[in-house]
Structure 1
Amino acid sequence: MSGHNKWSTIKQKKGKNDAARAKVFTKIGRELIVAIKEGGSADPSVNSKLKDCIAKAKAANVPNDNIERIIKKASSDADATNYEAVTYEGYGPNGVAVIVEALTDNRNRTAGEVRHYFDKFGGNMGTQGCVSFMFSKKGVLVIEREDLEKDEDTVMSDALECGASDFEADDDVFTIYTETDDFGAVRDELEKLGYTFVSAEIEMVPSTYTKLEDEETATKMQKMLDMFEDNDDIQNVWHNWEMD
């Protein structure tokens, strides 16, 4: 998403109540478990996927105690659940492109729920590849401007020198883009320079955006996104809605 859209989403998530934040912690916990199982190690220095997940968790304000407890539990095989990564694609109201990424222990259940959410709010689930061609996978690091002592030129220069591929400045945030293979290295170098992030993850970034002109359609789109967010199986929802 563009910097503006991205910041709108972050502000929504930051402002959610305790129950909603607990869901975020649950989803990230599931990602940590999968990262350990797939990477074969609970040591982030040798498991880059785990290291990326820990950075995402910290950006989402997951307490360190929670992160350590999940890692310990996963590495001891106390959690025997096997999660499978599944991606769904489709269209929201007025043709907004939507990609849904899930980690599930029951593909049939999750597919049925995702299809229901699309249908309920005037969208439809499509076939694999129907909208993903409109997105590019990139590393995205978001830095809040408030209380940041460095100016825009300095931040941009630092980001590019650390290996970033692109940079956007917004009224509220700086958004730094990287190639996926460079994401971890760029994030680590910027952290060494004292930067902290309100979001740090690999994202599906749209090449074009769709505006929803009337309030009723926008409301349907937001309700659909809320349904996705409330589902524990669904990890990420990417879309090309140009939010106001």
Structure 2
Amino acid sequence: MAGHSKWSNIKRRKGAQDAKRGKLFMKLAREIFMAARQGGGDPEMNPNLRLAVDKAKSNNMPNENIDRAIKKATGDLEGVNYEEYTYEGYGPGGVAVMVKVLTDNKNRTAADVRHAFNKNDGNLGENGCVSFMFDRKGYLVVDRGETEADEEELMLEAIEAGAEEMETTEDQFEIYAEPESFSDVKAALEKSGYSFVTSEVTMIPETYTPLDEEGVEKMLKLIDMLEDNDDVQEVYHNLDADEAILEKLS
């Protein structure tokens, strides 16, 4: 049965926000930088770098930007050193929030993240306070309007390639895989002619926290304030918002 996906709702809105802000390339470059610095500059030998490069290309980031980020990480170009941190806390109404950052100034970033939580009826917590509510998963989305394959055919191909499960909504097929299998699943489905609206390794909530319109509005303000910070790479949360409310507030 086609149904409503809380997760795809979150991702659709986030994608629209990223496109609107125009900061996406900078954040993608930092992600590539960190992956290359930690595992080397060859995407064939560095799975995390390969994921970061694929994500950048899917967002139409120019190859020269990708190459420059890798060269900075490997010392071929002078660049800033970034460190990766994850902050955890609660938004309005107890919504679980994880904030992944890459920063060259931890004190500045920590203060900015704390300020965003405090200003929007949230509170920053200790490490581990909400991370247990999320699973790291590969996530692939196929637009139902852009493929002739039916649900059963795609599911069989995805499972055979190593995916864990697939969910069907009114608009799309959502495929989930373990992070270690993500690249293989993606490559196999691309070879079969599928293209993806979204393809990334991300944090999927195990449960969702519903809020009324006032709570959703406060939560969206918190998300926007965090995502507008140049040091913030990703904001993961488990907000359950009615689609009508999201459309009204967007």
Q: What TM-score, normalized to structure 2? A: 0.89
SS of the residue 2:219 aligns to:
helix
Residue of structure 2 equivalent to 1:4 = 5
SS of the residue 2:210 aligns to:
coil
Residue of structure 1 equivalent to 2:222 = 224
The answer for unaligned runs of 5 or more in structure 1 is none
Residue of structure 1 equivalent to 2:77 = 78
| Cα distance in 2 between the residues matched to 1:241 and 1:170 | 18
Residue of structure 2 equivalent to 1:93 = 92
| Cα distance in 1 between the residues matched to 2:215 and 2:153 | 41
| Cα distance in 1 between the residues matched to 2:233 and 2:4 | 21
Residue of structure 2 equivalent to 1:35 = 35
User: What is the identity percentage for the equivalent residue pairs of Structure 1 and Structure 2?
Assistant: 49
Range 199-208 or range 65-74, more displaced: 65-74
Q: Is the 8 A contact 1:117 1:227 kept in 2?
A: yes
Range 115-124 or range 190-199, more displaced: 190-199
The answer for unaligned runs of 5 or more in structure 2 is 243-250
SS of the residue 1:146 aligns to:
helix
Moved over 6 A (4+): none
Q: Is the 8 A contact 2:210 2:241 kept in 1?
A: yes
Q: Is the 8 A contact 1:94 1:212 kept in 2?
A: yes
Residue of structure 2 equivalent to 1:181 = 180
> Over residues 129-176 of structure 1, what are the superposed CA-to-partner deviations in whole Å (9 max), with x where a residue is unaligned?
111111111111122222212111111111101000111111122111
SS of the residue 1:204 aligns to:
strand
| Cα distance in 2 between the residues matched to 1:166 and 1:79 | 43
Q: Which residue type is aligned with residue 210 of structure 2?
A: K
Mapping of residues 162-177 of structure 1, within 5 Å: 162-177=161-176
1:85 deviates by 0.9
> Over residues 6-40 of structure 1, what are the superposed CA-to-partner deviations in whole Å (9 max), with x where a residue is unaligned?
333343344458661x3111101111111111112
Q: Is the 8 A contact 1:3 1:175 kept in 2?
A: no
Residue of structure 2 equivalent to 1:156 = 155
SS of the residue 2:152 aligns to:
helix
Residue of structure 1 equivalent to 2:200 = 201
Residue of structure 1 equivalent to 2:132 = 133
Residue 238 of structure 2: which of 234, 237, 240 is its match?
240
> Over residues 101-126 of structure 1, what are the superposed CA-to-partner deviations in whole Å (9 max), with x where a residue is unaligned?
11111111111111111111101000
1:182 deviates by 1.2
**Paired residues, what number?**
240
Q: Which residue type is aligned with residue 205 of structure 1?
A: I
Residue of structure 1 equivalent to 2:106 = 107
Q: Is the 8 A contact 2:68 2:77 kept in 1?
A: no
Q: Is the 8 A contact 1:3 1:173 kept in 2?
A: no
* Alpha-carbon RMSD: 2.0
1:73 deviates by 4.6
1:69 deviates by 4.0
